[in-house]
Amino acid sequence: GRGRSRHGGGGRAMSLRERSPGGAVEAGEDAAAALALAETDGPGRCLSLLPWDHFSAWLHCVCVVGFDLELGQAVEVIYPPHSKLTDKEKTNICYLSFPDSNSGCLGDTQFCFRFRRSPGRKVSLCCFLDQLDRDLPVYLKKDPAYYYGYVYFRQVRDKSLKRGYFQKSLVLISKLPYVHLFRTMLKQIAPEYFEKSEAFLEAVCSDVDRWPPPIPGKILHLPIMGIIMKLRIPTYRDKPGTMPIVQNMHQADAQISMALPTVHEVDLFRCFCPVFFHIQMLWELVLLGEPLVVMAPSPSESSETVLALVSCISPLKYYSDFRPYFTIHDSEFKEYTTRTQAPPSVILGVTNPFFAKTLQHWPHIIRIGDIKLPGEVPKQVKVKKLKNLKTLDSKPGVYTSYKPYLNKDEEIVKQLQKGVQQKRPTEAQSVILRRYFLELTESFIIPLERYVASLMPLQKCISPWKSPPQLRQFSQDDFMKTLEKAGPQLTSGLKGDWIGLYRHFLKSPNFDGWFRNRQKEMTQKLEALHLEALCNENLVFWSQKHTEVETVDLVLKLKNKLLQADREQLPVKTDTLKKLQTHINDIILALPDDLQDILLKTGTT
């Protein structure tokens, strides 16, 4: 599995084995296979992986943001130096990398933010990384329009500085939503960076450039400054709610210091603790894409709560925008806080008291105090009226006039309260809560999945000599009729107005995103079945019965089909594609020489 190197691309592409001494013990073979795949010359494939391409598969860049008395917040270092950020992106990073002054975060604080990428950016390595993206569950797929920033902020007293404080943030910028991985990585490297500075950062980045690609489903070994993180990125084939355990420490793994139980999950129970009695209502609000603002005392609490909200409808993807930490300097501030139109479908995490005023017209506000794990059972908290929310000093709670569609599930509240009394570990409480959300979401989505699957044409309607048939139209009335016999009551004991919840959901961005994704998958499946039907025909025999013009037309169409299968990564067996290629070659060889020459050169690029 050595990757072929290509010259002329500005540097040698080394194979994984050369680049990655600690990098890929088990994943080496597959990662090398993936690299080989990235280096084949097939249509739409990349050529070679160059230095920094491994790094780019995980991170866009690393920034250091400092505070300057004249300039305010400023990006002091970007590494690797060739990384490109527009001025607007730099400004966003500057403001989002520091807590608001009122947060009073002394010591070390970790949090994350998300911001819009400037349009018109070329994506390198795209086809190779798209290949990996395809195997991810839908909620972990990259959103090309956004970057994540993972921050480690330090503020300590320092008399030698004019302001009396040392303030700096180390920030990892990435397209990947692997919150837990990057949080763990920052915990390892940031404290040392603040002591050692530049050369240390360079060493960190060259470590990351030795990592194997982020291949879903494989156990990956990622060396970072003397320790090795061992982890597994989920795939769409994993059964929702199951976590293949990454085992810690066999004898052979003596150098491995850390097995990560997850790459992307936050501590769900800790995040929902302050709004414990409203978890089901919050699930509805997130599912329906309602405008939600989380007001918290610091960016770490706001960002964790927003990420917990977004993940509570998993395995559904939350399709609207969400900002784990949002400031008044954000480039979308005006767009999101305007009163000239209804609040947008977004979830914002804020800490600045100014927002209590700016966003008081928002329909749903979650106010969170300091997140502490309760030693005793949380008190029952009523949903508060919005008019009572005047300032950020208002008491913690959920401020909304929303009436939930479903009746409250008292069982989950009792189960978690019992856990608090018995001092059950927060990880175990999070597992219970995650399973509860998963079962609720699956009960809701299964009837929709079942109905949408019925829109697929029957296999007997697929003829090799006609275009693939179209999917039938989604009809809200037809779907609602199915609920009587095959609704959520089959899997959930919860009573309430499920029909009303579905009607509302069908108007939401989450339904739109989900349905478009299913449509795309089903259309690709039809294309793949059409390809298979073509392969099972005796195409050479057909071509002998038709004119040269018709045969040439068939060859060009078949070549286009092959290109489409590669470009769109249709779910077709490799054997089918080989068989089709053989058919094409056989038809061409049966034609006169002059046509053969032309056809062998046509449509292969």
Alpha carbon 518 to its chain centroid, in Å, reads: 17
Of 540, 526, 522, residue with least CA distance to 579: 540
- Specify the DSSP element, H or E, that contains 147: strand 146-157
Question: Is pLDDT above 50 for 34?
Answer: no
Rounding to the nearest 10 degrees, give the CA dihedral for residues 539, 544, 550, 555: 40
Question: What values do phi and psi take at 604, rounded to 5?
Answer: -100, -5
For position 165, what pLDDT does the model report? 81
Q: Provide the pLDDT for residue 547.
A: 85
Q: Kindly tell me if the per-residue pLDDT of 107 is higher than 80.
A: yes
For the chain, the domains span 53-213, 267-509, 538-602
Q: Which amino acid is at 539?
A: L
Cβ atoms of residues 152 and 172 within 8 Å:
no
Beta pairing partners, 322: 347
Which pLDDT score, from 0 to 100, does residue 35 have? 43
Please give the Cα distance from 528 to 522 (Å, whole number): 10
Q: Residue 393 — pLDDT band, cuts 50, 70, 90?
A: low
Range with top average pLDDT, 31-40, 204-213, 551-560 = 204-213
Q: What pLDDT is stored for residue 51 in this prediction?
A: 76
Across 298-310, average pLDDT = 95
Question: 487: pLDDT confidence band, cut at 50, 70 and 90?
Answer: confident
Give the pLDDT band (50/70/90) at residue 465.
confident
Mean pLDDT, rounded, for 156-171: 84
Pick the range with the lowest mean pLDDT from 158-162, 175-179, 418-422, 510-514. Answer: 158-162
Other Cβ atoms within 10 Å of 344 Cβ, number:
17
Q: Which CATH architecture has domain 53-213?
A: 2-Layer Sandwich (3.30)
- Strand, coil or helix: 322: strand
Least confident of 47-56, 116-125, 208-217, 473-482: 116-125
537 — pLDDT class (breaks 50, 70, 90):
confident
Cα–Cα distance for residue pair 451/472, rounded to 1 Å:
11
576: pLDDT strictly greater than 70: yes
Distance CA 489, CA 495 (A): 8
- Residue in the structure block whose two tokens are 């208002």: 394
Instruction: Give the residue-averaged pLDDT of 13-41.
Output: 35
DSSP state letters, 122-145? --TTHHHHHHHHTTS-GGGS--TT
Q: Give the H/E segment covering residue 579.
A: helix 574-589
Sign of CA dihedral 564, 568, 570, 575: positive
pLDDT, one tens digit per residue, over 342-383 is 899 999 999 988 888 888 889 999 998 765 555 555 555 667
Judged against a pLDDT cut of 50, whether residue 26 lies above it is answered with no
Residue 169: what pLDDT?
95
Give pLDDT tens digits for 109-163. 999 999 999 887 555 555 566 677 888 999 999 888 999 999 999 988 888 877 7
What is the arithmetic mean of pLDDT over 576-597? Answer: 85
Q: Return the minimum-mean-pLDDT range out of 133-137, 179-183, 560-564, 597-601.
A: 597-601
pLDDT tens for each residue of 233-286? 999 888 877 766 666 545 455 565 788 999 999 999 999 988 888 999 999 999
Chain position carrying tokens 């008190």: 379
**What mean pLDDT, rounded, does the chain reach?**
83
Query: What fold, for 267-509?
Result: Rossmann fold (3.40.50)
Percentage, residues of the chain above pLDDT 70: 82
Q: Between 75 and 24, whose confidence is greater?
A: 75
Q: In what order do the strands lie in the sheet with 72-79?
A: 72-79, 61-68, 165-174, 146-157, 107-116
Residue 550 in tokens: 């018709």
Q: Percent of the chain, pLDDT > 90?
A: 47
What is the rounded distance in angstroms from the CA atom of residue 46 to the CA atom of residue 54? Answer: 14
Quick one: which of 399, 413, 22, 396 has its CA closest to 208?
Answer: 22
pLDDT-derived band at 461, boundaries 50, 70, 90: confident
Nearest in space to 90 (alpha carbons), one of 155, 173, 152, 168? 173
Say which residues have a Cβ less than 8 Å from residue 140's Cβ, sequence separation at least 6. Answer: 177, 233, 234, 264
* Euclidean distance between CA atoms 444 and 302, whole angstroms: 28
Q: What is the mean pLDDT of residues 194-209?
A: 90
**Average pLDDT in the 489-499 region?**
88
Place of tokens 């949080």: 183
Inter-CA distances, 585 with 281, 540, 581, 589, 600, Å: 61, 10, 6, 6, 8
Q: Are 97 and 212 in contact (CB under 8 A)?
A: no
CA 265 to chain centre: 11
Higher pLDDT, 586 or 209: 209
Prediction pTM value: 0.85
